[in-house]
Amino acid sequence: MHNTEDTHSSPTTHEKPLSDAALIIVSGMSGSGKSVALKTFEDLGYYCVDNLPAELLPAFVRAATANLAETETAKLAVGIDVRTSHRDLASIPGWLAEVGKLGMDPRVIFLDTRDDILIKRYADTRRRHPLSHLGLALADAIALERQVLRPLRQLADSQLDTSELNVHQMRRYIITRFALGDTSTVSLLFESFAYRHGVPADADFVFDARCLPNPHWDPGLRPLSGRDAPVAEFFANQPLVNEFADQVGALLETWLPRLHTDTSRSYITVAFGCTGGRHRSVYLAERMARAAREQGWDEVAVHHREID
């Protein structure tokens, strides 16, 4: 997501209070942050599925709720966007009505972003637009996507412009409006980044991992990332990496709970940087996130800026 100062983008909404049995449809423009939104719902305890055929919504709800205990709450989130059959998008109101008859409370959240920002994001990430297979220029693909998604936008209970929002601010919006249960706890975000692309503007702690052994120079490890088992094994066998992780872990274990007592702080971002943002920083962010969960932190998320 685009890193900015903590500006606020007011959502367009006609929300009513969310009931306990919730089905959230996450839709919007490609490049607007839908993957971040779904990951946040997953961190909130929702069962998430991306790119589900719209016609399968009622069957999905039946299957996902079939074995719930009486005391369990059904919390589901589904990503539906331009990758879905265009004919199916026009039929979504009927399928949402079926979902309502199953006792669920369906909501649609639509993420939008200005065209110029979308074009910049595609240029930065070098990803292909989902409609590029039609042979369209990027600007034309974006225009067609807006037209195709119009039925979902018109259904949306919430519309959010993410043009000037970073990951931190998007998570705040979703947790504030869609968490079912206690939202008073602090949310931890462990982020990896490449120094050559700049330090994340919203990081509370920044640790430089460029002094550590770099698997980039191993041809067998270079194509992988810090999330892959061979790279993790490489780092686990490096005394310097373990010393670094242990010392950083001790610091975080001491000071994160103290920040937790600051009631004005809802989010804490811990960032790890290396040269390319692919191996050392990614491994450390994943390792520290696991440690935080083991220490009892409820809201822990990981974002790898250069590879997600």
Known binding-site residue numbers for GTP: 81-84
- What gap in Å lies between CA 18 and CA 175, rounded to an integer? 12
| Three-class HEC string of 134-182 | HCCCHHHHHHHHHHHCHHHHHHCCEEEECCCCCHHHHHHHHHHHHCCCC
10 Å CB burial of residue 284 (0-12, 13-18, 19+) is: buried
3-class state of residue 245 by DSSP: helix
Known binding-site residues for ATP equal 28-35
CB atoms within 10 A of CB 98: 15
Known binding-site residues equal 28-35, 81-84
- What gap in Å lies between CA 46 and CA 40, rounded to an integer? 9
10 Å CB burial of residue 167 (0-12, 13-18, 19+) is: buried
